[in-house]
């Protein structure tokens, strides 16, 4: 039986638009180069498609500079989808824009209505549970509402803490398979992955912790050779994707797609 946490027939992405220059960032290292970002994005989409997945590529949303990071707007599960409620005020409207897109694939699209907030970057779905990190974007009320929404589908949610100063929980970790998580040592130190096998990112390569397992491959940001080697040595088929421009906006592999298999 295919896994529900990393085997997917579909993905949704959104092309970066001219507005990315205004995207949120913790540290300003200069605006992303749009042409380069588009080329990186194309490589990312091609890598997803190469696994056999059907990728729906949405056009840029001019009023939302961070719209390329579609993961934060919704949670896509095997039984249904949940429109989220981003904690960044400039990103709140991205969630509503995703609702009609997901309705094409899901009979049931639920929504987090508030008052809490929750962004997809803080949600790690594993084969056995859903881990959610509280962060500057995701609060206890948002997590509680998500917990109620997904309970009828048989999911348990475990609330954790995103490390201080880290944008999202998944900035620091990724699912590699049913039992294995790639994580920064600073996050794994919390003990929140007890019961899983943890592959730590090498010192100095913490920014490689945001990767995605997508069908038979692991998409990892280029430029972190020791992490790529470590993953390859553990038996994963790694595809390195250039990510310099998304990284200027604190974005990585997971942020750039919604991954799912529509219910039959």
Q: What are phi and psi of 16, to 5 degrees?
A: -70, 140
Residue 254 near ligand CIR by CB under 6 A: yes
Residue 66 near ligand CIR by CB under 6 A: yes
Residue 72 near ligand CIR by CB under 6 A: yes
CB of 177 vs ligand CIR, minimal distance in Å? 21
Output 92 or 234, the one with its CB closest to ligand CIR.
92
Instruction: Determine the Cα–Cα distance for residues 204 and 49; give it in Å rounded to an integer.
Output: 31
The one among 17, 60, 80, 120 contacting ligand CIR by CB under 6 A: 120
Output 89 or 195, the one with its CB closest to ligand CIR.
89
Q: Does residue 21 contact residue 71 with C-beta atoms inside 8 Å?
A: no
Residues marked active site are found at: 168, 255
From residue 16 to residue 35, the character string flagging contacts with ligand CIR as x (rule: CB under 6 A) and all else as - is -------xxx----------
The one among 8, 44, 64, 69 contacting ligand CIR by CB under 6 A: 69
CB of 71 vs ligand CIR, minimal distance in Å? 4
Q: Which residue is nearest to ligand CIR (CB)?
A: 121
From residue 212 to residue 251, the character string flagging contacts with ligand CIR as x (rule: CB under 6 A) and all else as - is -------------------------------------xxx
Stretch that binds ligand CIR, among 67-75, 149-157, 222-230, 237-245 (CB under 6 A): 67-75
Q: How many chain residues are in contact with ligand CIR, going by CB under 6 A?
A: 19
Handedness of CA 97, 112, 190, 214 (dihedral sign): negative
Q: Does residue 60 contact residue 17 with C-beta atoms inside 8 Å?
A: yes
CB of 248 vs ligand CIR, minimal distance in Å? 9
Question: For strand 180-183 and strand 173-175, is the pairing parallel, antiparallel, or unpaired?
Answer: antiparallel
CB of 109 vs ligand CIR, minimal distance in Å? 20
Which positions from 123 through 182 interact with ligand CIR, judged by CB under 6 A? Answer: 167-168, 171
Binding footprint of ligand CIR on the chain (CB under 6 A):
23-25, 66, 69, 71-72, 88, 91, 120-121, 167-168, 171, 249-251, 254-255
């Amino acid at each position: 039986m295919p896994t529900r946490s990393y085997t997917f027939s579909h993905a949704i992405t959104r092309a970066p638009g001219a507005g990315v220059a205004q995207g949120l960032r913790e540290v300003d290292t200069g605006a992303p180069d749009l042409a380069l970002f588009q080329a990186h994005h194309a490589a990312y989409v091609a890598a997803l498609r190469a696994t056999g997945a059907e990728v729906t590529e949405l056009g840029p949303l001019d009023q939302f500079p961070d719209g390329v990071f579609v993961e934060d707007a919704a949670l896509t599960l095997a039984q249904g989808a949940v429109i989220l409620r981003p904690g960044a005020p400039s990103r709140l409207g991205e969630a509503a824009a995703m609702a009609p897109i997901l309705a094409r694939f899901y009979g049931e699209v639920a929504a987090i209505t508030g008052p809490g907030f929750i962004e997809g970057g803080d949600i790690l779905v594993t084969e056995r549970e859903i881990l959610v990190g509280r962060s500057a974007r995701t609060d206890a009320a948002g997590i509680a509402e998500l917990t109620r929404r997904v309970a009828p589908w048989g999911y348990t949610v475990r609330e954790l803490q995103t490390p201080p100063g880290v944008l999202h929980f998944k900035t620091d970790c990724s699912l590699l398979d049913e039992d294995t998580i790639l994580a920064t040592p600073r996050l794994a130190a919390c003990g929140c992955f007890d019961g899983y096998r943890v592959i730590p990112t090498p010192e100095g390569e913490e920014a490689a912790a945001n990767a995605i397992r997508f069908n038979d491959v692991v998409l990892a940001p280029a430029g972190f050779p020791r992490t790529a080697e470590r993953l390859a040595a553990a038996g994963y088929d790694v595809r390195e994707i250039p990510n310099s421009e998304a990284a200027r906006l604190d974005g990585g592999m997971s942020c750039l797609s919604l991954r799912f298999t529509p219910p039959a």
